[in-house]
Amino acid sequence: MASSVVLITRWGVYHWKDFRFPDKSKNKFWIALVCKIVDPKSNSNITIPSLLPTSRWDKYENNRKRLIDTVVLEPYESKFFKKKTVVDIKNIFFVREQEVFEAVQKNKLVYIGTLEENIVKKIEKTIRNAETLSRKDIKMLLCESTVPE
């Protein structure tokens, strides 16, 4: 029986069951910021930059500092997000390709579509103008330089 292939693509939106944070696991939407298509491989040390949108608007709405370098999506502005959602550029997650491979193998990572172009443009503009990212990180996230391994 052939296993299904999951390719990780730039602006791909995935649902990740039990995404591991340092202190907990939680079901999350995961947006890949890779600069080329990645076929996750076992034992790879490559890291994949990604975003984890949150519907916890309450943690942002009354705190101007938290809203720096964010994109706020209204309900259904994107077909993927039914609630008001914050895409926080300050919280780029670098996930080892090995972790992605394991999530795919365990059917915990599922591709659900590609982020809409208008949302991509908002996020790219926010990255380009980010106050909290270094010039080097901005170039890397905009695919103007290579992704670190």
Q: How confident is the model at residue 145 (pLDDT cuts 50, 70, 90)?
A: confident
Range of weakest confidence among 58-62, 68-72, 81-85, 112-116: 58-62
Q: What structural domains and CATH numbers belong to the chain? A: 12-141 (2.30.30)
- Contacts of residue 87, defined as CB under 8 A and 6 or more positions apart, other chains included, come to 31, 51, 53, 70, 71, 72, 73, 123, 126
Digit-coded pLDDT (tens) for 12-68: 999 999 998 878 888 999 999 998 877 777 667 788 999 999 999 999 988 888 999
Digit-coded pLDDT (tens) for 60-76: 988 888 999 999 999 99
* Alpha carbons 32 and 127: distance in angstroms, whole number: 14
